[in-house]
Amino acid sequence: MSAASQEQERATQSEPDNHAVRQQLNRLLANPYFSHSKRFPTFLRFVIEHTLAGDAEKIKERTLGIEIFGRDANYDTASDPIVRVTAAEIRKRVAQYYQDPAHQDELRITLPSGSYIPQFHWPKSPNDVALPEEAALELKVVAPTTAKRDHARGHSSLVVVLACLGVAVLSVASVLLWQAMHRSAPDFFWQPALTATGPVLICVADQTESSGQSLRDAADPTRQVLLKPMSKPKDNLTTVAIDDLGAIVKIAGLLQSNGKQYSLRGEGVTSLADLRSGPAVFIGAFDNAWTLRLTNPLRYHFANNSDMSEVRIVDRANPALSNWAVERAVQDSTNNYRDYAIAARFTDTNTGKLTVIVAGLARGGTIAAGEFITDPSDLVQVQRAAQAAGDKKNMEVVLSTQIIDGEPGSPKMEAAYFW
Mean pLDDT of 14-42: 87
Q: Specify the pLDDT at position 124.
A: 72
Mean pLDDT of 352-379: 93
* CA separation for the pair 401, 399 (Å, rounded): 7
373-406: pLDDT as tens digits: 998 888 999 999 999 999 999 999 999 999 888 8
Mean pLDDT of 62-90: 89
88-121: pLDDT as tens digits: 889 988 988 998 888 988 999 999 988 999 999 9
Mean pLDDT of 361-384: 91
Mean pLDDT of 327-350: 92
The closest alpha carbon to 300, from 331, 343, 239, 333, belongs to: 343
Higher pLDDT, 38 or 277: 277
Q: Specify the pLDDT at position 215.
A: 65
Backbone angles phi, psi at 104, to 5 degrees: -70, -20
Mean pLDDT of 128-142: 37
pLDDT for 358 beyond 90: yes
pLDDT for 2 beyond 70: no
Mean pLDDT of 249-256: 91
Which one of 95-109, 222-236, 348-362 scores highest in mean pLDDT?
Answer: 348-362
Q: Specify the pLDDT at position 388.
A: 92
pLDDT class for 162, splitting at 50, 70, 90? low
Share the mean pLDDT of the chain.
81
pLDDT for 181 beyond 80: no
Q: Specify the pLDDT at position 300.
A: 97
Q: Does the predicted model carry a pTM greater than 0.85?
A: no
pLDDT class for 209, splitting at 50, 70, 90? low
pLDDT for 292 beyond 70: yes
Q: Specify the pLDDT at position 178.
A: 40
The closest alpha carbon to 304, from 318, 324, 331, 284, belongs to: 324
Which one of 10-24, 291-305, 312-326, 403-417 scores highest in mean pLDDT?
Answer: 291-305
Contacts (Cβ under 8 Å, ≥6 apart) of 80: 65, 71, 336
Q: Specify the pLDDT at position 176.
A: 42
Q: Specify the pLDDT at position 353.
A: 96
Q: Specify the pLDDT at position 408.
A: 87
pLDDT for 296 beyond 60: yes
Mean pLDDT of 295-319: 94
Mean pLDDT of 114-131: 72
Higher pLDDT, 371 or 164: 371
Cα 341 vs. chain centroid, distance in angstroms?
Answer: 14
pLDDT class for 213, splitting at 50, 70, 90? low
DSSP 326-346: EEHHHHHHHS-EEEEEEEEEE
Q: Specify the pLDDT at position 341.
A: 97
Q: Specify the pLDDT at position 145.
A: 46
Backbone angles phi, psi at 109, to 5 degrees: -110, 120
Residue 318 in contact with residue 392, Cβ under 8 Å?
A: no
Contacts (Cβ under 8 Å, ≥6 apart) of 86: 39, 40, 43, 404, 409
Handedness of CA 11, 15, 18, 21 (dihedral sign): positive
Instruction: Return the percentage of the chain with pLDDT > 90, whole number.
Output: 47
* CA separation for the pair 118, 44 (Å, rounded): 9
pLDDT class for 131, splitting at 50, 70, 90? very low
Q: Specify the pLDDT at position 304.
A: 93
Mean pLDDT of 334-348: 94
pLDDT for 334 beyond 50: yes
Q: Specify the pLDDT at position 70.
A: 87
**Helix segments in 207-288, DSSP class H:** 242-257, 272-275
Q: Specify the pLDDT at position 191.
A: 94
Q: Specify the pLDDT at position 156.
A: 55
